[in-house]
Amino acid sequence: MEKYLPPLRFFLLPRALNSVIGFMLVVSSLSLAFAYDIERLQQQLVALFGPARVSLLRDWQKTLTEAKPVGEKEKLARINNFFNKRIEFTDDLSVWNQSDYWATPVEFIGQGRGDCEDFAIAKYFALKEIGVPSAKLRLVYVKAKLNGPGGPFLQAHMVLAYYPAPNAEPTILDNLVPEIKPASLRGDLQPVFSFNSEAIWQGVAENSAKGKGGTGQLSRWQDLLQRAHAEGFH
């Protein structure tokens, strides 16, 4: 595995400060429920990546604010569309100079690009932020059937599953297929295991057996949760 090269830090120049001040004025007009976290996220983003992604963070905040009062089905659609349309899909080697790196929401937005894990993770935290219980959400490792020059092949992939009710069929949020569909209509996906902040399951069904040892079995997930918590996510 190649050594992780941390992103370059930038000093704020006068022109950059204008963008930051404008952003803070927008923050002050938004719901107080988001104000502290967003101010903290904005400071971290600018410190790590410079002011270039401030507008993307502002649009993300606007999407969260507007999606908070709507029903859960509409929440899913708005969050799924935002990330699928605004973030570039690419591999970790290109972004982080590593073969596998799980980015926090701030890192994902700061880079403006990421792989399937980053999309699923960002959607998970965004939906929790606007009121969708974590019990209804699971990150799912799957084998995705894709078509290549040599024919169909299986690719390791991650999606986000939403369970509208206990024992209900989940719907799938995916960066490869933009439409949110019931799991039964995603025959191209073979679930391997699923997890969220509370537990790991051996499959994707609601009644799947929980893995022993809890989320501690996934060191990358534990590390990601700690870094996301430091950013202000819970």
206-220 pLDDT per residue, tens:
666 676 655 657 899
Quick one: pLDDT at residue 211? 66
Tell me if 5 is assigned to some domain. Answer: no
The per-residue DSSP string of the chain comes to -PPP-PPPP-PPPHHHHHHHHHHHHHHHTS-HHHHHHHHHHHHHHHHHH-GGGHHHHHHHHHHHHHHTTS-HHHHHHHHHHHHHHHSEE--HHHHHSSS-----HHHHHHHTEE-HHHHHHHHHHHHHHTT--GGGEEEEEEEEEEEETTEEEEEEEEEEEE-SSTTPPPEEE-SSS-S-EEGGG-TTEEEEEEE-SS-EESSSSTTPPBPTTGGGG-HHHHHHHHHHHHHT--
Lowest model confidence (mean pLDDT) among 8-12, 173-177, 200-204: 8-12
Query: In CATH, what number is assigned to the domain containing residue 153?
Result: 3.10.620.30
In this prediction, residue 2 has a pLDDT band, given cuts at 50, 70 and 90, of very low
Tell me if 170 is assigned to some domain. Answer: yes
Residue 56: pLDDT above 80? yes
In this prediction, residue 158 has a pLDDT band, given cuts at 50, 70 and 90, of very high
Please provide the average confidence, as pLDDT, over all residues in the chain: 84
Tell me if 6 is assigned to some domain. Answer: no
Tell me if 221 is assigned to some domain. Answer: yes
In this prediction, residue 118 has a pLDDT band, given cuts at 50, 70 and 90, of very high
Mean pLDDT of 189-209: 84
Tell me if 103 is assigned to some domain. Answer: yes
Residue 52: pLDDT above 90? yes
Q: What is the extent of the structural domain holding 24? A: 14-231
Quick one: pLDDT at residue 37? 73
In this prediction, residue 40 has a pLDDT band, given cuts at 50, 70 and 90, of confident
Tell me if 94 is assigned to some domain. Answer: yes
Tell me if 122 is assigned to some domain. Answer: yes
Tell me if 123 is assigned to some domain. Answer: yes
Total domains in the chain come to 1
